[in-house]
Structure 1
Amino acid sequence: MLPNIEIIVGTYEEFLLGYQLKQQSEEDGDQVVLKQTFADKSHAGSLKCVAVQGPWIASGGSDDRIFVYDMRTRKQSQILLSHSGTINSLVFSPDLTHLLSGSADGHMIATRVGSWKTEGDWQKAHAGAAVTHVSCHPSSKLALSLGGDQVLHTWNLVKGRVAYKTNLKSKSTLGSAPDCLCWSPDGEHFTLSGPLVVEIWEIKKAGVARREKTPAKPICVAWLNGRVCLAGLENGSIVWISLDAPEDEAAKNISAHEVRIKAMSYFDGTLVTASSAGELKIWSCDIEKQELEHLTSTNIGCRPTCMALLDLSSFKSECPQTSKVVAPKHTNQEKSNVVAAPKPRGVVTIEFEQDENPTIEDDDNSTTSDDTDSAKKSKTNHKKLKQDEESVGQSDDDDCEKSDDSIADFSDSESFGTDGFSNDSDSNQRPAQRKRRNPTPVGAKKAKPKQAKKE
């Protein structure tokens, strides 16, 4: 079963790349392939170091900047501008509380994870010389650092100060620039390398537990467990170093690449190596037999400078997952049974003229002609109603001009019955209408009733 990891590679061409292991089914059987997951070009210079822990990725380069990525959302989270020189080393504390960084400006800085605020800044961590390597103990309480002054510093991270110093200038085997500083998984040992040697130091002895000579210069180191480590050499080979092997027994040399091995990382039985030619190889490790089985490889097309492995099972991704909806396929018989949708009908345009008899362009549309007829009838009826109202208003005005006496005579006429209808035999005569009285003028005064005179 393939490990659930993502390979993070920093390159000289300013790219940060991601790769994952996938199983691809073919005719010969299932094969393991490497597929690229992302490519980011945020740096303005070549990448020098990369660190991973939990969902976080931090990359440092020659542009004096540190970029932080949150792999839960797969987005850039923060840009740290606390250094004024090339970032040489980056490491997260295992408890994921701080990010330690060493730079060519001589500063070693501790940055709080989450708030990304600087909580510790040792401006002259190595007497003003460049800080080249930083490695954090698995307990997150100690850290080791190497600098241009060739002094190994042991830091007490609880108190935030140097616990003790080890001068490496007297170590002729390590040369003028010690390299490959790396803690073992159990925290009991760490490695240092020189031009043609790899040394494993033990904390209890405070000295070298095993020294292994190499045919070429060691470039990188990867621990398999607390007792076994591998060293990648400049000639492309891998040296298998075990603390349990006899002292007089030479370490096993395994040919891996044609050119120098620039970076190497191990996780859960899987070893990943990257050469200066851009070749990325995946190996399956058998610790008991001291064997490496090649699984797959690819060429990234860039020159790798650093590498780290991200454990995807240690966090939950928050990226939205898109699902593909596949339309069902219809057979020829089903296609013949499918009824085609009717085409949209044409649009009928109706125009009206100003004369009394409007003409319609579409004679076939009977419904529109009926609507126009009803519209004409409603218009004529409306005109008749207006004429009747005007005639009634005129008659009312004429009647209002009559005197009050005529109104009294009209009400006392004997030719009308009590119901207001004529007593004549002509039944077609219309019923009488009671005429309106003239309203009292606004300025007129009402007559006061006469009072009876007292006798």
Structure 2
Amino acid sequence: MHKTSAPERKSKKAKVDKSLATKRTNTPPPTESNPELDLPVSPPSPKGKQKAATVPASNKNVRSEPTTFVLPSSFKVVAGSYEKLLYGLEGTVTPSSSAPGYTFHLNPIFIFPAHVSCIKAVAASPNGGKWLATGSADEIVKVWDLRRRKEIGGLMHHEGSITELQFPSRSHLLSSSEDGTLCLFRARDWAVLRSLKGHKGAVNSVAIHPSGKVALSVGKDKTLRMWDLMRGKGSASTKLGKEGELVRWSVTGSCFVVQCRATIEIYTTDMVLQHIITHPSRIHSVKFCTRVNGTGEVLFVGAEDKKVSIYEIHEDPEKIPTVIAEMVGHSNRVKAVEALAIALPPSENQKSARLSTTIVCTVSSDGKIHVYDLASLPAHCEEKLEIHPVAEYDTKGTRLTCMTIAEGEPSEIANAVNGKRKRADNGHGHEDSEEEQHEGLEGWHSQGEDDGEDKQEEEGSEDEE
């Protein structure tokens, strides 16, 4: 793949193709008033380091990208592995023909070697899932056009393994690395807007507040840091006394959790410790999610015990979160948990058909990808439930490490205009015909880098931790 230097901040928009790959450079950051950081505007943050900082509890009154919230009727699951393979599956839902309810399907749409080392992070852009970003121990962040099954290029700004990737918005990508830095990229031309420095060691995890204004990160230096994403700088930090492995915001942004081995600490936004949860086994993934039945949130915990425990987050902050259900079916550790709300097709077998649900996807070291229907969790649980997968895909022994869920097609009902279905925007200023859309689903096996297949090395043994 041909590689060019990183685009300068004031340069013209770069072409989005395989020549995009950027070299490691010390690109001077934009000035404080640079409008290129076009994330939602926030009030000035206090100067200097603090022991704690307050962030907005919700995204009300936040000016963000104009978005029409239409639930997708399908979804894409993309999973990375120690074997450097990237798996892409398309998920669909159809009304059940034999009994009331729905049938969930997982169909493979691509499988190919994406990196020269194990894949450690993967993320899809929101509001349509156009961009896919993958990060690896090879220190490269690769960007893909998920709709067209095409590689865009490699972002090589980091000098350490990529630990996490997240999209604060569909126009920005945030990455963290073992080199101790976070990078904010602009999706328009994949220029580096900011290199965020502050950790004195590897960054293990990063979490973006639902408002898109700030991010939290934890690392090997045993500190929790807050970043002002509008100004591209640190705004606060505090000592944790332990190495945080994961940090995650709640759906409302009213609290967050820091995970270390088998322990989860729940904090308020002003850094007050609410609860400490000691899980029965080592934890690998945590995820907040809004209930389908009832109100409030639940916390998914994927761990070494081969299942996902569902903790109820009580409205009363004094009540300790408790396990109300378990998602079972894996035969090895659960490495990642993600969730997505989707629209459901009309069902003739149901008198009062549901309009939507939330699917929960998991990947495991057993090589399997599971899909669960969160509607299986009732509003009130009198005893601990077991929830079984509604769909499964078996990679035949691949050690899966990470996963993301991308939105598929918008629902037919919401997408109908004058009795005709809207055609998908291809991201280049015009809409694809159905024939062009079909061509984009041919898979990435023949794409490769410069139309060549990437020969892969054998991956070393799996890190048990």
The residue type equivalent to 1:270 in the other structure is: I
Q: Is the 8 A contact 1:9 1:17 kept in 2?
A: yes
- Larger deviation: 52-61 or 283-292? 283-292
Question: How far apart are the structure 2 equivalents of 1:194 and 1:259?
Answer: 20
Q: How do 1:288-327 and structure 2 match up within 5 A?
A: 288-289=379-380, 292-301=387-396, 302-313=398-409, 316=424, 318=426, 321-322=434-435
- Larger deviation: 63-72 or 20-29? 20-29
Secondary structure of 2:256's partner? strand
Question: How far apart are the structure 2 equivalents of 1:167 and 1:38?
Answer: 43
Q: Which residue does 2:275 correspond to in 1?
A: 210
Q: Share of identical aligned residues, percent?
A: 25
Structure 1 residue 98: Cα displacement = 2.0
Q: Which residue does 1:47 correspond to in 2?
A: 119
Q: 2:261 aligns with which of 195, 206, 219?
A: 195
The residue type equivalent to 2:370 in the other structure is: K
Structure with max Cα Rg: 1
Q: How many residues align structurally? A: 313
Could you say which structure has the higher helix fraction? 1
1:99 aligns with 2:173: yes
Secondary structure of 2:434's partner? coil
Q: Which residue does 2:448 correspond to in 1?
A: none
1:275 aligns with 2:364: yes
Q: Which residue does 1:68 correspond to in 2?
A: 143
Q: How do 1:284-363 and structure 2 match up within 5 A?
A: 284-285=373-374, 286=377, 288-289=379-380, 292-301=387-396, 302-313=398-409, 316=424, 318=426, 321-322=434-435
Q: 1:130 aligns with which of 188, 195, 202?
A: 202
User: Structure 1 residues 149, 298: CA separation in 2 closer, same or farther (over 3 Å shift)?
Assistant: same
Q: Is the 8 A contact 2:124 2:404 kept in 1?
A: yes
Q: How do 1:22-421 and structure 2 match up within 5 A?
A: 22=92, 31-54=103-126, 55-94=130-169, 96-122=170-196, 124-127=197-200, 129-169=201-241, 176-203=242-269, 205-225=270-290, 227-244=297-314, 247=319, 250-252=322-324, 254=326, 256=328, 257-268=330-341, 269-285=358-374, 286=377, 288-289=379-380, 292-301=387-396, 302-313=398-409, 316=424, 318=426, 321-322=434-435
- Give the TM-score normalised by structure 2: 0.62
The residue type equivalent to 2:175 in the other structure is: S
Deviation track 1:183-240 (CA, whole Å, cap 9, x = no partner) reads 122221212112322222211x422233222111111012112632111111112222
Secondary structure of 2:389's partner? strand
Question: How far apart are the structure 2 equivalents of 1:90 and 1:259?
Answer: 25
User: Structure 1 residues 35, 249: CA separation in 2 closer, same or farther (over 3 Å shift)?
Assistant: closer
Question: How far apart are the structure 1 equivalents of 2:388 and 2:331?
Answer: 17
Q: Which residue does 1:339 correspond to in 2?
A: none
Structure 1 residue 249: Cα displacement = 7.0
Q: Is the 8 A contact 1:144 1:153 kept in 2?
A: yes
Question: How far apart are the structure 2 equivalents of 1:229 and 1:249?
Answer: 9
Q: Which residue does 2:26 correspond to in 1?
A: none
Larger relative contact order, structure 1 or 2 (CA cutoff 8 Å, min sep 6)? 2
Secondary structure of 1:93's partner? strand
User: Structure 1 residues 78, 247: CA separation in 2 closer, same or farther (over 3 Å shift)?
Assistant: same
Q: Is the 8 A contact 1:109 1:121 kept in 2?
A: yes
CA RMSD of aligned residues (A): 2.6
User: Structure 1 residues 131, 207: CA separation in 2 closer, same or farther (over 3 Å shift)?
Assistant: same
- Larger deviation: 191-200 or 79-88? 191-200
- Give the TM-score normalised by structure 1: 0.63
Question: How far apart are the structure 1 equivalents of 2:262 and 2:310?
Answer: 15
Question: How far apart are the structure 1 equivalents of 2:152 and 2:363?
Answer: 27
The residue type equivalent to 2:243 in the other structure is: A
Structure 1 residue 106: Cα displacement = 1.8
Q: Is the 8 A contact 2:72 2:408 kept in 1?
A: no
Q: Is the 8 A contact 1:72 1:317 kept in 2?
A: no
The residue type equivalent to 1:217 in the other structure is: R
Q: Is the 8 A contact 1:2 1:21 kept in 2?
A: no
TM superposition outliers: structure 1 runs of 4+ over 4 Å: 23-31
Question: How far apart are the structure 2 equivalents of 1:322 and 1:156?
Answer: 44
Q: Is the 8 A contact 2:121 2:136 kept in 1?
A: yes
The runs of 5 or more residues in structure 1 that have no matched partner are 170-175, 324-455
